A and B are shown apart, each in its own frame.
Chain A
Amino acid sequence: MKDILLWQTRHFIYNHFADTTRPPSVDETAAHFNIPTEEATEYYKELHNRHTFFLDLETLTVRMANPFSGIPTDFKVHANGKTYFANCAWDMLGIPAALHADAVIEAVCTESGEKVEIEIRDENLRSTNYDLRIHFPLPFARWYDDLVFT
């Protein structure tokens, strides 16, 4: 395993998310770097083990490359003419922060189900509801115990 290619793989996956709103398959990554699929598979597994991103259980599909989600969620972020899904309420703000872009975020209150819209423009946040709160259920030391729950 080549360390340079490991980090280039991480970079490719994140920027593929940013460019297309979805993660590349392991075959797409192998083709991009002109390497065997088996080698790209090793990089995917190693990056998963290092908590760089997270694969769906027993697959090579990227489920979370925070702040990006590989599956639809209640946290929809419109930015750069695209629509992304975020993993959680923190990550919905993480997407415009990572992209350094303006964004309109559509989300819902977890308990009431009411729709909420948030706008990021020129790094400033605007919302029709400034009582909005984000609940962190677990202390930082336990975030990786169960990432989906966190």
Chain B
Amino acid sequence: MLLFQSEAWIDKWCKRNNLPRGEVLTIDQVWELSKLWYHNRLSLEYHGRSAEQVAEVFREAGLKSEFWYV
């Protein structure tokens, strides 16, 4: 996942690399997603996530488009 100063820079990058545009989130959206995704990563009890658990994290983060289908 790559960082850009604004949407316009993403368009330039996609055009220059001849790649389609994927999903674009604001830095605040990704911070909220990070807290949900990584909060327990250092725990001994964390053994990865099931597909259902991944889908639940995306739902909680408000990511509901087809791009986030598990």
Binding site for B on A (CB under 8 A): 7-8, 10-11, 14-15, 18, 50-52, 66-67, 75, 88-100, 107-112, 114, 116, 118, 120, 123, 125, 127, 129-141, 150
Q: Are B3 and A134 in contact (CB under 8 A)?
A: yes
Residue of B whose beta carbon sits closest to that of A138: B22
Looking at chain A's contact residues, is the secondary structure mostly helix, strand, loop, or mixed? mixed
Binding site for A on B (CB under 8 A): 1-7, 9-10, 12-13, 16, 19, 21-28, 30-31, 33-35, 37-39, 41-44, 46-48, 54, 58, 66-70
Give the residues in chain A near B3, CB-CB below 8 Å: 75, 89, 92, 107-110, 116, 132-134
A-B pair count, CB < 8 Å, reads 154
Q: Are A135 and B1 in contact (CB under 8 A)?
A: yes
Give the residues in chain B near A15, CB-CB below 8 Å: 42
Output the least CB separation between A139 and chain B (Å).
5
Output the least CB separation between A47 and chain B (Å).
10
Alpha-carbon distance A116/B37, docked complex (angstroms): 23
Alpha-carbon distance A150/B12, docked complex (angstroms): 19
Q: Are A50 and B48 in contact (CB under 8 A)?
A: yes
Output the least CB separation between A105 and chain B (Å).
10
Contact A136 to B67, CB < 8 A, known contacts A90-B33, A111-B13, A130-B27: yes
Alpha-carbon distance A120/B70, docked complex (angstroms): 29
